Amino acid sequence: MDRVIYQRMREMEDRHWWFAGRRNIVQHVLSSLDLSKAPAILEAGCGTGGNLPLLARFGDVIGIEADDEAIALARGRRVCKVLKGYLPDGMPFTGERFDLIALIDVLEHIEDDIGSLTALGSLLTPGGYLVMTVPAFQFLWSRHDEEHHHKRRYTASSLQHVVEQAGLQIKHLTYYNTWLFPIVAAARLAERLLPAGDVGHDLHLPNARINTVLEAVFSSERHLVNRVRMPFGISLLAVLRDRSNHGL
């Protein structure tokens, strides 16, 4: 991604409603998992490190990132070790295994999504979890996707196909960011009629009151994502395990 986007992400991701709401939802999902008391955790594609403090609450975290600019920003948080690596075949591990792997809005950036999930599955301990999010619905493709170098957006069925081809098993799969779908979808579609803005134009912090309301609305879905399969949303969330785990 453009260096400007990484800088803006680092500035915004601790406060912006989108990042904060997503973290609240991911935290709720992780809290529901049957993790050991001190799990080994990997965040693959940790970006500028916005999720590392959250993951560190659950166990011993390592971050992996391909971009040098993002690595420097993530290391600057001083939360955990952040190594250089990339999917599917550039992971810097030889024998390590992880009880939890987080893949938060990463898979859409990678050409070989099946190979990448296969590689991550091989790093799971028996009974380990892979929690991932991706953007949903190709008709929502926008300047945001192009600036962030996305390869695709997913539907529940297309993501299920990729997961199954990678040899992983779905414990739970749902759309999310459903309540705000009409607003976000309308804004993304309206973008196509407007002249191009500056790079990272959507990474701006709204008015504090609006930001608080949007975070609260988005975060409220945490009470549903584990219990029901939402029929649509801006994004998808999946909890995966290796097919060798028969306790599902």
pLDDT at residue 189 in the model: 83
pLDDT at residue 246 in the model: 47
Please check whether residue 247 lies inside any domain of the structure.
no
Please check whether residue 173 lies inside any domain of the structure.
yes
Domain that holds residue 55: 3-242
Q: How many domains does the chain have?
A: 1
Contact 66, 40 (CB under 8 A): no
CATH code: domain of residue 33: 3.40.50.150
Instruction: Choose among 169, 178, 162, 163: nearest CA to 235.
Output: 178
The CA radius of gyration of the chain, in Å to the nearest whole number, is 17
Neighbours of 179 (CB within 10 A): 16
107 DSSP 8-state letter: G
Q: What average pLDDT does the structure give for the chain?
A: 92
Please check whether residue 153 lies inside any domain of the structure.
yes
pLDDT digits (tens, 9 = 90+) for 98-110: 999 999 999 999 9
Handedness of CA 99, 102, 106, 107 (dihedral sign): positive
Sheet holding 60-65, edge to edge: 81-84, 60-65, 40-44, 98-104, 124-135, 235-242, 168-176
pLDDT digits (tens, 9 = 90+) for 5-28: 888 888 889 999 999 999 999 999
Task: For residue 37, count CB atoms less than 10 angstroms from its CB and return exposed for 0-12, middle for 13-18, buried for 19 or more.
Answer: exposed
Q: Compute CA distances 188 → 13, 21, 49, 86, whole Å.
A: 20, 19, 26, 29
Does residue 97 carry a pLDDT above 50? Answer: yes
How, if at all, do strands 168-176 and 235-242 pair? antiparallel
Give the integer Cα–Cα distance in Å for 161 and 157. 6
Give the integer Cα–Cα distance in Å for 12 and 248. 38
